[in-house]
Amino acid sequence: MQRRVRTRAIAVVSALGLTGVLGGCGLGGGSSDVTLKLVAADYGDSESNSSEKYWQDLVDRYEAEHPDVKIDVDVYSWNDVDRKVKEMVDAGEAPDLAQIGAYADYAAEGQLYKAGDLLSIPVQADFLSQLTTAGEVNSVQYGMPFASSTRVLFYNKTLFDEAGITPPKTWDELAADAEALKAEGVKYPYALPLGPEEAQAESMQWMLGGEGGYTDITGTYSIDSAANVETFGWLKSELVGKGLTGPVAPGELDRADAFEAFAAGQVGMLNGHPSLMETAKAKGVKFGMVPTPGAEGESKATLGVADWMMAFNENGHRDEIGDFLDFVYSEDNVLAFSREYNLLPVTVSASRTMAASEQDKDLKPFLDQLATSELYPVGNTSWAAVNAAVKKEIGKAVAPNGSPAGVLGGLQAAATRAEAAG
């Protein structure tokens, strides 16, 4: 198999908060009756575990059984992949398949196949229900989940033992633990990353703990709901205002920096996803993981995040695309990808296997949260604009002179405008 490789070492973050570094790697070669073009994101953090290797193996196996179909794959870093796909689509050269961070804009423009027109019934039915729903636009599934993750509360066991405290189940207990950690000189008793990198994730996790969220049960934006205003009021007065979130203002603290500080033993508690386990282990940090606290008890829901596969209809090839996707979403392939990158399976069959496997016990706390997780409103074409506004503004809600009601009200207005424009 011939290979062409283009590489740029730029570290970036996906919707899952994972880092990828490769600029672009093309996989494919030979001749065949049909060639499918797939553009995919890189989930690795070095060339040694680039997603190029995952796709190389998968394509080799598929093509061995389907000599009349060639799969040509380009793997790009998260810094480049969404832009690359957009440029291809705008130039009238859409790939057959794209595995990227968002699908709704393309679906709204009529550029995607429906999942039901591609996948066999057993494969489509195997997606976890909340991920299927998140992949829908106007109740029709276009986005096929490819990778998922949830959040739990990480805590530093050594720092907790020194402070004589136990993991919190409620916000009040979290604040009390943070006070005890501060008294012991911990730099970041609770790390609250509301900086522009991934503020939307930390914000939604706290909103869910206060029984709020970005939208209400009808899917309408409710960013300035009474529950959300109360949540950010509590954060401002009980954590930030009491100096329990460390020396960096939350609006200036990025998730990657918070994770790095946790791995350096400087953070008592923070919300994290599976990749933090490996980072902390590598630095010798003894840590525990518990469900995220809520206002009155353990949060009834945690943040779920997914990245997406989509199929463009510009080139046809519906049958070939569907057959390849059935292979991609086989249990063995889903498990192999999830295990390689410490992610959660997007299918029921692979989730059951992982839950019962000793090999995957480290991921069990995250897997346990998946069934009750809630995702961003990615089916709304307005979400990209709302997401950008949240990243830019929401840290101001907990600033010394900030107004939670004012900042959330401004974001609600921005969301309303984005909805109208879409």
Is residue 296 domain-shared with residue 322, that is, in the same domain?
no
Is residue 288 domain-shared with residue 398, that is, in the same domain?
yes
Tell me the residue range of the domain where 179 lies: 152-301+382-421
Last residue of a domain, one of 359, 375, 391: 375
Who wins on pLDDT, 31 or 304? 304
Per-residue pLDDT band for 23 (boundaries 50, 70, 90) equals low
d(CA 182, CA 192): 14
Is residue 282 domain-shared with residue 145, that is, in the same domain?
no
Is residue 76 domain-shared with residue 186, that is, in the same domain?
no
Is residue 159 domain-shared with residue 280, that is, in the same domain?
yes
Is residue 392 domain-shared with residue 343, that is, in the same domain?
no
- Per-residue model confidence as pLDDT tens digits over 152-174: 999 999 999 999 999 999 999 99
Is residue 49 domain-shared with residue 80, that is, in the same domain?
yes
Is residue 104 domain-shared with residue 128, that is, in the same domain?
yes
Mean pLDDT value across residues 57-65: 95
CATH number at residue 358: 3.40.190.10
pTM score, whole prediction: 0.85
- Per-residue model confidence as pLDDT tens digits over 326-356: 999 999 999 999 999 889 999 999 999 999 9
- Per-residue confidence (pLDDT) for residue 3, from 0 to 100: 35
> Domains in the chain: how many in total?
2
Alpha carbon distances (Å) from 109 to 142, 172, 332, 365, 417: 12, 47, 34, 38, 19
∠ CA 321-322-327, rounded to 5°: 100
Is residue 259 domain-shared with residue 395, that is, in the same domain?
yes
Is residue 144 domain-shared with residue 31, that is, in the same domain?
yes
d(CA 284, CA 156): 11
Average predicted confidence (pLDDT) for the chain: 90
Query: 202: phi > 0 → left, psi -120 to 50 → alpha, else beta; which?
Result: alpha
Q: Where are the extended beta strands (E) located within 158-243?
A: 188-190
Is residue 270 domain-shared with residue 170, that is, in the same domain?
yes
- Asked whether residue 194 carries a pLDDT value surpassing 90, the answer given is yes
- Residue 207: HSE in the Cβ half-sphere, 13 Å Cα cutoff: 29
Is residue 161 domain-shared with residue 297, that is, in the same domain?
yes
- Per-residue confidence (pLDDT) for residue 4, from 0 to 100: 32
Last residue of a domain, one of 375, 391, 406: 375
- Per-residue confidence (pLDDT) for residue 294, from 0 to 100: 95
